[in-house]
Amino acid sequence: MTTPLTDVSDIEQQTIKRVTKRMIPFLILLFVVAFLDRNNVGFAALRMNEDIGISQTIYGLGAGIFFLGYFMFEVPSNILLHRYGARVWIARIMVTWGIIAGAMGFLQTPVHFISLRVLLGIAEAGFFPGVIYLLSLWFPSRYRARMIATFYLGVPIAQIIGAPLSVGLMELGDAWGFVGWRLMYIVEAVPAVILGVVCYFYLTDHPADAHWLTDKQRNWLISTLEQEER
């Protein structure tokens, strides 16, 4: 007969494994897409600056001003995240930033460039804290550091694929008779919009709503998280 201690240990292992498989790969994918849309401006600059008359000063301002919008709206975004729930708010963030990132492909003037970079920062504000908050709703404290570190794998993955993907899209666009950097912006923005819609249906705000956990797993997770809050 299985002892209660062993039984609880088995439940814990099974539950954490299932939650990890369900959430972490998807969240890493979101992080990769966010990183690409945030940083592909460096690859576009090779041609974009000349095409629409962006000086080095304006380019530097536009590249950095993203973070102004990002930091200014970080707190308001997280207040709204708590109000509407992580699932809805992360989905909103992704769809909004995808639309703005795609609009970068239609730039005509340096003013457009600066404006869209600010808006992109505003749109992405709250994404990372939102994911951390979501993880805190699903993983007991002893697992959170590991899950956050795993989530951070999105950065090296994006760095590995970012350059060949972005440069490849620009070269492909030029070969097909398009403006390469415009095509790159548009194509790399599409996954954010699609994943934002998927996010709304795929993610779950709270363990109590997780139909993909067994009753035993769900009860263990809810009980464990409630005990930590006391």
What are the tens digits of pLDDT across the range 89-114?
Answer: 999 999 999 999 999 999 999 999 99
Residue 2 — very low, low, confident or very high, per pLDDT cuts 50/70/90?
very low
Exposure string for 23-45, b = 16+ CB within 10 A, e = fewer: bbeebbebbbbbbbbbbbbebbb
* Half-sphere CA count of 183, side-chain side, radius 13 A: 16
Residues 6+ apart with CB under 8 A from 127: 30, 34, 90, 93, 94, 97
Contact 29, 155 (CB under 8 A): no
| pTM of the complete model | 0.90
**Domain annotation for the chain: domains and CATH numbers:** 22-229 (1.20.1250.20)
The answer to whether residue 38 scores a pLDDT higher than 70 is yes
The answer to whether residue 5 scores a pLDDT higher than 70 is no
